[in-house]
Chains A and B, each alone.
Chain A
Amino acid sequence: MTPAASPAPVVRLTDVSKSYRVGEARVQALRGVSLELGAGELLALTGPSGSGKSTLLNLCGLIDAPDEGRREIAGRTVNGCSEATLTQLRREKVGFIFQGFNLVPVMTVFDNVEYPLLLLGIPAAERQKKVKDILARVGLDGFERRLPDALSGGQRQRVAIARALVKSPALVIADEPTGNLDSATAAQIVDLLRELAHERGAAVAVATHDDRMTSRCDRVLQLRDGALQ
């Protein structure tokens, strides 16, 4: 499968820096990072713990703000945007996959996947169709009424992938998506994520330590001490 062509990158970061205060000290998490990520592209971010992978993903996913630098997401400059605008952008354009799955335990599989569509105000019939389609696509047909606790780790991550992709976002952020999975399941999850991202033309940024994951990505970038190598 070939990545879909796109006139403008989904993510464009220019000279982005970010630091945190840890006690009395200031830790520089990112130093002048510039990055472009196109539609349908699967990008792996690797590097040792504390290298800035998660910080970079948080900035791309609009859940954190840089100290310096320019950010463009889905063709829009987001510097200076209000929290409400950023939330609306995340609602429409960004899907998230977490290492710990982060499913809502009281919601069924169907409800978890439907949730982003509810936020978008999509009519019930259309929601139902989209959820059923994506669940079938991730191999969870027939699991709609189950609660997350009744699923295996791999199945939960499939639900998380379905939740992230059901609204066909421009960008998917995946932070260590195979970190809690065994090898065989991890490989299946990576393949699934890659297929779906290409199918739906979503740019996917993945933070990972997993070599099996990086080998399946379109591009691999390594971070060290907050800078791209």
Chain B
Amino acid sequence: MKWLLFAWKNVLRNRRRSFMALLITAVGTAAVLTGGGFALFAYESLREVSARDTGHVVLAQRNYFTGDEDAPMQFGLAGAQALAAELRTLPGVRAVVPRVQFSGLISNGDKTAVFIGSGVVPEVDFRLRGGQMNFLAGEAFDAGRSVPEIAIGGELARTMKAKPGTSLTLLATTTEANLNAVDVIVRGIVSVGVPDIDKRLVFADVAAVQKLLLTDKVSTLSVYLKDTGDTAAAAARIGAAHPELALRTWLDLAVFYKAVRALYNRIFGMLGGIMLVIVLFAVSNTLSMAVVERTREIGTLRAIGTMPGEVVGNFVLEGALIGGAGALAGMLIAGAINVALVFSGLQMPPPPGRSGGYPLLVSFSVPLYAATGLAVIAVAAIAAYLVSRNAARKPITEALAHV
């Protein structure tokens, strides 16, 4: 405690210089925490979006993910209802929803366009997708209507001149390689935030799609968990129980999430590295001046029996104190920025290929704050070590003669 007190008194010896080093350290820390927090927010958001889109665990016929189908639903999953019922009994499972992926032509009588569709259980699927599914007009459709209802992407609706209540026709190839058609009514117009997808997007009731394709199979069974963190354990459990099926987790299928994460890790990792180098220079500069000014004092302390390592240790403590105080101030600044962003309502522009922006928010993470604080303290201590080690080993008579 005494040594810490001496170190603190030495830090305060030249307050202006120490304050500048502390300020640079604080700003560097705040930049790392804000940048890192923004990346974490992006990861968390994208993780939820990805998991809500595909489900946490996706089950399919063995060849579904790797093979090329010669006919629709060639690699479809049979007996999906019984399997879904079994999966719903597993602990931690929130819902199990069947999906049928299909494609074909959509027509309003005058104009025809290509669509890519999903057969879903509307009352479950739209609830699970939550805010990811943005209704531009109309609402979620109901299953089991005599004339099936659908939801289509905003761009496709514009092409088809469709609005809620408009009648359209879906044309698709059946499992027997024939063409089949069904008249549908548009109930909702949606956007998933990606214009290229919205241009082709169709959601329909899974039973209506099976009827159109002449099949009782589904493409996949999506298992939604209560906690995304349980994905690996649930996947392992389901995989062990059903080795005959192909299984993917949301992470396996989250191409965009992985690309963003790889990009942000590099960008913000580099930013963090630069900030730590700036902290290193700031503390080095401050303490190297202190070391020169205190050369005679170092000689005196060495003469009365202080080991070189103890002299260095005192400077390292001073560096760590500057680093620690700077890190603490930086954490407070970053915390204030976090709170300000929550109330500011600032929006980020849409990412490439997307139609909508997202709120500019920064996640608070105890591990991030702890790791950054420790890294800043360690860098400041290293800077102090580097600038003091030679002075501590200088011949005592030379140090005492220093003017």
Residues of A within 8 A of B (CB): 58, 61, 63-64, 83-84, 87-88, 90-92, 94-96, 98, 102, 104-107, 111, 115-116, 118-119, 163-164
Assembled-state Cα–Cα distance A115/B306 (Å)? 10
> Would you call B400 an interface residue if the criterion is a C-beta within 8 Å of the partner chain's C-beta atoms?
yes
Whether the pair B297, A96 counts as a contact (CB closer than 8 A) is: no
Chain A nearest CB from B12 CB (Å) reads 8
Q: Which residues of B have CB within 8 Å of A92?
A: 305
**Contacting residues of chain B (1-56) with chain A, CB-CB under 8 angstroms:** 2, 6, 9-10, 12-13
16 A-B pairs in the complex with CB atoms less than 8 angstroms apart: A64-B395, A87-B302, A90-B304, A91-B305, A95-B304, A96-B303, A98-B400, A104-B300, A106-B6, A106-B9, A106-B10, A106-B12, A107-B9, A116-B305, A118-B2, A119-B306
Q: What is the CA–CA distance of A163 and B305 in the complex, to the nearest angstrom?
A: 12
Extra inter-chain contacts (12) besides given A94-B304, A102-B300, CB under 8 Å:
A61-B303, A63-B303, A64-B395, A87-B307, A88-B305, A104-B297, A104-B301, A106-B10, A107-B6, A107-B9, A115-B304, A163-B304
A/B pair count, beta carbons within 8 Å: 61
Q: Which residues of B contact A91 (CB under 8 A)?
A: 304-306
Chain B interface bracket (under 10, 10 to 19, 20 to 34, 35 or more): 20 to 34
A206 to chain B, nearest CB (A): 16
Q: Which residues of A contact B396 (CB under 8 A)?
A: 63-64
**Known contacts A96-B300, A118-B2, A84 near B307 by CB under 8 Å:** yes
Nearest B residue to A101 by beta-carbon distance? B300
Shortest CB-to-CB span from B312 to chain A, Å, is: 13
Q: Please, how many angstroms separate the alpha-carbon atoms of A58 and B302 in the complex?
A: 13
Looking at A94, A106, A116, A163, the one whose CB has the most chain B CB atoms below 10 A away is A106
Query: Taking the complex as formed, is B397 at the interface, i.e. its CB lies under 8 A from any CB of chain A?
Result: yes
- Contact (Cβ within 8 A) B397 A64: yes
Q: Is the CB of A87 within 8 A of B306?
A: yes
In the bound complex, what is the Cα–Cα distance between A186 and B6 (angstroms)? 31
User: Contact at A98–B305, with CB atoms within 8 Å?
Assistant: no
Q: Which residues of B contact A84 (CB under 8 A)?
A: 307
In this assembly, does B129 line the interface, its C-beta being within 8 Å of a C-beta of chain A?
no
Q: Kindly provide the distance from the CB of A63 to the nearest chain B CB, expressed in whole angstroms.
A: 4
Which residues in B have their C-beta under 8 angstroms from that of A63?
302-303, 396-397, 400
For B307, the chain A residues whose CB sits under 8 A away are 84, 87
Q: Is B296 an interface residue (CB 8 A)?
A: yes
Q: Are B305's CB and A87's CB within 8 A?
A: yes
- C-alpha gap A119/B306 in the complex (Å): 7
Cα A133 to Cα B296 in complex, Å, equals 28
Contact check, A58 vs B304: say whether CB atoms are below 8 A apart.
no
Determine the distance from Cα of A163 to Cα of B400 in the docked complex, in whole angstroms: 17
Q: Secondary structure of the A side of the interface?
A: helix
A119–B305 CB distance below 8 A: yes
B-chain residues with CB within 8 Å of residue A96 when the two chains form the complex? 300, 303-304
Bound-state Cα–Cα, A105 to B10, Å:
9
What residues of A have a CB within 8 angstroms of the CB of B300 in the complex?
Answer: 96, 98, 102, 104
Tell me the bound Cα distance from A96 to B304 in angstroms. 7
**Hey, which chain A residues are within 8 Å of B304, CB to CB?**
90-91, 94-96, 115-116, 119, 163-164
Asked whether A102 and B296 contact (CB < 8 A) given A107-B9, A118-B2, the answer is yes
Does A102 contact B6, Cβ atoms closer than 8 Å?
no
Q: Which residues of B contact A107 (CB under 8 A)?
A: 6, 9
Which residues of chain B are within 8 angstroms of A61 by Cβ–Cβ distance? 303
**Binary per-residue interface labels of chain B (360-401) against chain A in the complex, 1 for a CB within 8 Å, 0 otherwise:** 000000000000000000000000000000000001110010
- For A119, what are the chain B residues with a Cβ–Cβ distance below 8 Å? 304-306, 310
The CA-CA distance from A64 to B395 in the complex, in Å, is: 8
Q: How far is the CB of B247 from chain A (nearest CB, A)?
A: 63
> Which residues of chain B from 192 to 230 have a CB within 8 Å of any chain A CB?
none
User: How far does the alpha carbon of A173 sit from the alpha carbon of B305 in the complex, in Å?
Assistant: 13
Complex interface residues of chain B between 292 and 325 (CB less than 8 A to chain A)? 296-297, 300-308, 310
Closest to B310 in A: A119
Min distance, Cβ B8 to any Cβ of chain A, angstroms: 9
B296, B300, B302, B306: most-surrounded residue (chain A CB, <10 A): B300
CB distance from B39 to the nearest CB of A (A): 42
A136 to B82 CA separation, bound complex (whole angstroms): 93
For the complex of A and B, list the 4 residue pairs with the smallest distance between their C-beta atoms, beginning with the closest.
A91-B305, A106-B9, A63-B396, A102-B300
Residue of B nearest to A83 (CB): B308
CA distance A163 to B303 in the complex (A): 12
In chain B, what residue has the closest Cβ to A102? Answer: B300
Cα of A87 to Cα of B12 in the assembled complex, Å: 29
Contact residues in B for A83 (Cβ distance below 8 Å): 308
A96 to B307, CA, bound (A): 16
Bound-state CA distance A107–B5 (Å) is: 10
Which residue in chain A gives the minimum CB-CB distance to B395?
A64
Q: Are B305 and A90 in contact (CB under 8 A)?
A: yes
CA A102 to CA B10, docked complex, whole Å: 16
CA distance A164 to B296 in the complex (A): 17
CB-CB contacts below 8 Å: B241-290 with A? none
Nearest residue (CB) in A for B309 is A84
Instruction: Give the docked Cα–Cα distance between A87 and B13 (Å).
Output: 27
